[in-house]
Amino acid sequence: MSTCPCGRPLSYSQCCGRYLDQGATVPDCETLMRSRYTAFVRRNHSYLLASWHPSTCPDLQPADLEGTTWLGLDVLRSKTGFKKGYVEFRARYQDDEKTEHSLHEISRFTHHKKRWVYLDEIEAWPGD
Ligand SMILES: [Zn+2]
């Protein structure tokens, strides 16, 4: 059994596959962030669009997901509040020239149509 790309010690079907393939409701923003990382790994374009707030969703094309090989995700901290939440993470990836990069981001999440969605990246952890 291989573990889920998001790094949780579960199989894909027990973890992010529940959201990507089966439409289960994501319980909190960390789980949403992990499932979106897995969607980047698996190039699940429709899931990324569906979990992006319409006000900030870019004109993402399926081809935009090609050329990047995702190598791992570390969730540094997360906070889920009432209809808003934050996740700080580091993700490693390799570009199409096989150069490795590290992406460090604090993501902000909110509710849209009663579901967690990604809103945007913010500069600093709230309250610090
Ligand atoms: Zn997962």
Per-residue pLDDT tens digits of the chain, which is 128 residues long: 689 999 999 999 999 999 999 999 999 999 999 999 999 999 999 999 999 999 999 999 999 999 999 999 999 999 999 889 999 999 999 999 999 999 999 999 999 999 999 999 999 999 75
Rounded distance between C-alpha atoms, residue 115 and residue 2, angstroms: 28
Phi, psi of 7 (to 5 degrees): 100, -10
**Architecture per CATH, 17-122:** Roll (3.10)
Rounded distance between C-alpha atoms, residue 36 and residue 39, angstroms: 5
pTM of the model: 0.95
For residue 12, report the distance from its CA to the centre of ligand 1, in Å. Answer: 6
For residue 5, report the distance from its CA to the centre of ligand 1, in Å. Answer: 6
For residue 44, report the distance from its CA to the centre of ligand 1, in Å. Answer: 14
Q: Which residues contact 118 (CB under 8 A, 6 or more apart)?
A: 32, 33, 36, 51, 52, 53, 56, 107, 108, 109
Rounded distance between C-alpha atoms, residue 5 and residue 36, angstroms: 10
For residue 50, report the distance from its CA to the centre of ligand 1, in Å. Answer: 17
Structure tokens at 22: 């089966």
- Based on the number of CB atoms within 10 Å of its own CB, is 66 exposed (0-12), middle (13-18) or buried (19 or more)? exposed
Query: Quick one: pLDDT at residue 2?
Result: 80
Rounded distance between C-alpha atoms, residue 86 and residue 120, angstroms: 10
